[in-house]
Amino acid sequence: MMLAPVYPYGPALVSAVLKAKPSDFQVNEDLGFEPVGKGEHLFLQIEKSGLSTQELITRVARDHGLQPKLIGYSGLKDKHALTRQWLSLHLPGQTSPSEKLSGDGYRVLRQARHNKKLRPGTHKSNSFVLRLCEVETLPERTRQQIDDLVKRGFANYFGVQRFGRKQDNVGKALIQLDGRRLQRSRKSLLISSLRSFLFNQILARRIELGHWDCPLPGDVFMLRGSRSIFSDQLDEVLLDRYRQQDITSCASLYGTGSSLMSGHALEIESGMFNAHADITACLEQQGAKLQMRALRVAVEEFSYDYDATDQMLMLKLTLPSGCYVTTLLEHFVNLRDVS
């Protein structure tokens, strides 16, 4: 049984159009560190529109005479948006271009040398500037939902992007991972879809039970702003840190390995894994390794403004890498993506 996403602050009362034009959805990737200024890898900060990250890599590789495998990236950015992200080009012994080279659909904003290739998930955060159109009203209930997610965080669901254009990646994964030879990128995507599906089911269940933003005995906790995890006994100090969003509970990204989870928290997960034994068996066969993901996310630098005349809701916010801004929006608005 697949549980539909359950949002903790009640159903959205208003609707909005997303990505009416690329500039309505702007994303800026923050590495969280500065390139060291020397090394075999040339880091490029690139602004793009109308290109997926993979399409961008293909064009940059062509323009620089490189194999795409020599280009690294940290995050996948939306195609129908105005985005700024970093790529790394492996150019050992080669002089960096004297100009900030641009190409079809993209332009280079900055370049610097570094001693390591850029890997997926390296960047610290993404900052967003969003315009939602055709928002006919912004009632007090919606404003309260926005206030709640800022004060208490939002449910860290994987977005619909993770499950394919037709939302059928889970079914495809169970078929295609059964002995077929697949490209590494395709295999990784399908495995990720299965683990994301299970995580979303666990999160939906914990929200239904009222346990998504309050700790349970046996929980594993993650520190805000990092991926460091720990387990501990519940006491007033820990509960206060929880209320302050300094820490949050985690759920498993299914795979083999030793878990710190126990008690009621483990019972919820085990029940969901047992209900989807075909998925867990497939993941074990593929050698997936256990990881943990936060159940809720704290929003940074959040502000919004509503223009009733133009029926426009404008938002600015920053999220840690790996989170979906569309998931945040669905806590208080029903989205219609027209891209």
- Can you give the three-state secondary structure of 261-292, one letter per residue? CCHHHHHHHHHHHHHCHHHHHHHHHCCCECEE
| 192 alpha-carbon distance from chain centroid | 12
Residues sharing a CB contact under 8 Å with residue 183, sequence separation 6 or more, in sequence order: none
Q: Phi and psi of 251, rounded to 5°? A: -130, 165
Query: Which residue among 30, 63, 78, 168 is the active-site one?
Result: 78
CB atoms within 10 A of CB 22: 17
Please tell me what DSSP assigns to residue 20.
S
Please tell me what DSSP assigns to residue 207.
H
Structure tokens at 292: 């943990």
Is 232 marked active-site?
no
Rounded-to-integer distance, Cα 254 and Cα 245, Å: 25
Rounded-to-integer distance, Cα 52 and Cα 90, Å: 21
Please tell me what DSSP assigns to residue 32.
S
DSSP bridge pairs for 247: 223
Contact in structure between 169 and 161 (CB atoms under 8 Å): no
Rounded-to-integer distance, Cα 119 and Cα 86, Å: 10
| 29 alpha-carbon distance from chain centroid | 12
Please tell me what DSSP assigns to residue 245.
T
Single-letter amino acid, residue 262: S
Structure tokens at 41: 């890898």
Nearest Cα to 48, choosing from 16, 74, 86, 93?
86
Query: Which residues form the catalytic set?
Result: 78
